[in-house]
A = this chain, B = another copy of it.
Amino acid sequence: MTRQPRLEIEYCTQCRWLMRAAWTAQELLTTFPQELGEVALMPATGGVFDIRLDGETLWSRKAEGGFAEIPLLKQLVRDRIAPGRKLGHSDRKDPAPEQPTD
């Protein structure tokens, strides 16, 4: 009964990152309520904080350190499931290199 697009937030319970994971889920579901099929909160251990969309890793604490900024996550999700969407103040200030400039 899984629905796609499926966003996974895997978090370390030992690090007490449930609230952070749930907050991240709410931010993304607030922005993409019609585009996201589901957001899965997945308890794990060992310092994990990973965010995946349909199997693609969007962000991993082990690789990138610290925590993902919510506006960045929204951009990464938007680019994949709602490319035409404007994100208001969450949108990137500097256009990505591959985008045409005005």
Contact = CB atoms under 8 A, between A and B. Distances in A.
Contacts of A40: 2, 6, 38-41
A3 interface: yes
B33 A26 contact: no
B19 A43 contact: no
Copies per complex? 2
Contact of A1 (B19, B41, B43, B55): B55
Contacts of A22: 22, 25-26, 29
Interface string A6-24: 1010000100001100100
Interface of A: 1-3, 6, 8, 13, 18-19, 22, 25-26, 29-30, 33-34, 36-43, 52, 55
